[in-house]
């Protein structure tokens, strides 16, 4: 799963969720309703203000209903039509029609296509099909450092590197990139505390740990990781209330249930955190009226925290959810 900048996704609440009853269980129907409602809010100003995230949001919503066991909750044809309305001639995708191409949205597009098994449509509706898309992604690799840029402007980030490898593996086009260089780059991002950042020298951050591990996993090079040291750092992210933070001395946040949890799962250390406490924290962050999950109890729900809360629960085998692949 790809991710936006953590900061963008963790927007401040504007409408607090209602208090929850003591007994906690997963509100499957409410969450499905919430995701379905997202695209019908076109008369709300906020809908338009988040247009630059639309394709990400669609992928998160789609993943959420899949995890909830209701894959048909979003209409397949409309989703696919929207995805292809975002494609540019160069094979990249923007967040919405009229938005510039970017790695993050291209990855989301490929993930949606894979989730809905729409590879035939990809060949029909995009000139050159999967090869054009693959070439666009591969063209963003920096040949000297091995990392990836998000767009022609050259900002690099291990998120883009992971996104590229993930999408190319779904397209069966991994051979288009210099894998050794990419792996070398990830190793250069390893910090003194065992974690990884957005680039060499950048502070360890659980979201970036996920992207680096998942990339190494796709490259078949998890053997390069000091599992005990990294597992120690990751498990130290759990706070007494059960929630996980993304960096030392930061607040707990539902989305790290996924970034930390899946990272631990990839290095076989998921049992180093307390799953029961984590499940309780996520369930407390549900909005029982509107559906959806917030970053922490009492805040406003959004689709990003909804999908990563669900994915976190799925990872720790909470009943009522489909199984999720940590990568």
Partner 1 sequence: MSRKPQNKLTPLSEDPKWEDVIPIPQEEGSAHPLASIAYAENYSEAMDYLRAVMATNEMSERVLELTERVIRMNPAHYTVWLYRARTLFTLNHDLYAEIAWLNPTALRHQKNYQIWHHRQTLINALDSADGEIPFLTQMFEKDSKNYHVWSYRQWLVKRFDLWDAGEIESVEELLKKDVRNNSAWNHRWFVVFGRPDTDAFKDEEIVKREIEFAKSQIRLAPQNQSPWSYLRGIIRQASLPLSSLREFAEEFAVFGKMDQVRSSHALALVADIYAEEPNGTAKATLALDMLAIRYDPIRVNYWEYKKKQLPPSSPVAAGT
Where does this chain bind Zn ion (CB under 5 A)?
Answer: 10, 253, 255, 295
Measured in degrees and rounded to the nearest 5, phi and psi for residue 87 equal -85, 145
The answer to whether the beta carbons of residues 26 and 318 sit under 8 Å apart is yes
7 binds, among partner 1, Zn ion, none (CB under 5 to 8 A by kind): partner 1
How far apart are the C-alpha atoms of 240 and 222, rounded to whole Å? 30
Q: Which stretch binds partner 1 (CB under 8 A): 46-54, 114-122, 160-168, 310-318?
A: 46-54
Site string for partner 1, 254-273 (x = CB under 8 A): ---------------x-xxx
Q: How far is CA 144 from the centre of its chain?
A: 27
How far apart are the C-alpha atoms of 290 and 135, rounded to whole Å? 42
The answer to whether the beta carbons of residues 183 and 150 sit under 8 Å apart is no
Contact between 191 and partner 1 per CB under 8 A: yes
> Binders of partner 1 among 142-161, rule CB under 8 A?
151, 153, 155
Rounded to 5°, angle at Cα 101 from 294 and 303: 10
Give the number of residues in contact with partner 1, rule: CB under 8 A.
Answer: 58
State in angstroms the smallest separation of the CB of 46 from partner 1: 9
Looking at beta carbons only, is 111 or 198 nearer to partner 1?
198
Contact between 184 and partner 1 per CB under 8 A: no
State in angstroms the smallest separation of the CB of 193 from partner 1: 4
Q: Which of 33, 274, 290, 300 binds partner 1 (CB under 8 A)?
A: 274
How far apart are the C-alpha atoms of 250 and 252, rounded to whole Å? 7
Q: H-type helices in the chain, by residue range?
A: 6-9, 28-38, 45-49, 54-67, 76-85, 103-115, 119-125, 129-139, 158-170, 179-188, 206-219, 227-235, 255-266, 275-284, 303-315
The answer to whether the beta carbons of residues 297 and 308 sit under 8 Å apart is no
State in angstroms the smallest separation of the CB of 245 from partner 1: 10
> Binders of partner 1 among 88-127, rule CB under 8 A?
94-95, 97-100, 102
Where do we find the tokens 């919503």? 61
295 binds, among partner 1, Zn ion, none (CB under 5 to 8 A by kind): Zn ion
Q: Which of 42, 143, 175, 323 binds partner 1 (CB under 8 A)?
A: 42
The answer to whether the beta carbons of residues 245 and 253 sit under 8 Å apart is yes
Site string for partner 1, 195-234 (x = CB under 8 A): --xxxxxxxxx----------------------x--xxx-
Q: How many helices (H) and strands (E) does the chain have?
A: 15, 0
Three-state secondary-structure class, residue 149: strand
120 binds, among partner 1, Zn ion, none (CB under 5 to 8 A by kind): none
Which residues lie near partner 1 (CB under 8 A)?
Answer: 5-8, 10-11, 42-45, 48-53, 85, 94-95, 97-100, 102, 151, 153, 155, 191-194, 197-205, 228, 231-233, 235-236, 238, 240, 247-250, 269, 271-274, 277
């Amino acid at each position: 799963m790809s991710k936006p900048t953590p900061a963008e996704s963790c927007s401040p609440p504007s409408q607090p969720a209602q208090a929850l009853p003591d007994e906690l269980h997963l509100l499957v129907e409410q969450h499905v309703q919430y995701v379905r409602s997202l695209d019908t809010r076109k008369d709300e100003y906020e809908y338009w203000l988040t247009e630059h995230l639309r394709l990400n949001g669609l992928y998160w919503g789609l993943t959420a209903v899949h995890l909830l066991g209701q894959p048909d909750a979003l209409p397949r044809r409309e989703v696919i039509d929207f995805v292809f309305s975002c494609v540019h001639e160069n094979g990249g995708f923007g967040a919405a029609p009229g938005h510039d191409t970017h790695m993050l949205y291209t990855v989301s597009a490929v993930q949606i296509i894979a989730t809905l098994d729409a590879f035939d449509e990809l060949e029909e509706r995009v000139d050159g099909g999967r090869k054009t898309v693959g070439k666009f992604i591969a063209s963003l690799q920096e040949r000297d450092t091995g990392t990836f840029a998000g767009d022609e402007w050259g900002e690099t980030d291990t998120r883009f590197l992971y996104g590229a490898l993930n999408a190319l593996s779904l397209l069966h086009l991994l051979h288009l990139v210099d894998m050794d260089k990419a792996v070398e780059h990830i190793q250069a991002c390893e910090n003194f505390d065992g974690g990884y950042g957005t680039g060499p020298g950048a502070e360890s951050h659980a979201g970036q740990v996920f992207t680096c591990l998942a990339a190494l996993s796709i490259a078949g090079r998890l053997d390069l990781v000091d599992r005990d040291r990294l597992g120690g750092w990751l498990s130290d992210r759990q706070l007494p209330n059960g929630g996980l933070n993304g960096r030392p001395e930061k607040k707990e946040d539902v989305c790290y249930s996924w970034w930390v949890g899946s990272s631990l799962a990839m290095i076989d250390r998921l049992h180093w955190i307390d799953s029961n406490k984590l499940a309780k924290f996520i369930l407390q962050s549900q909005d029982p009226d509107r559906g959806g999950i917030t970053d922490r109890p009492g805040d406003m729900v959004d689709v990003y925290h909804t999908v990563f809360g669900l994915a976190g629960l799925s990872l720790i085998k909470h009943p009522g959810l489909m199984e999720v692949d940590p990568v």
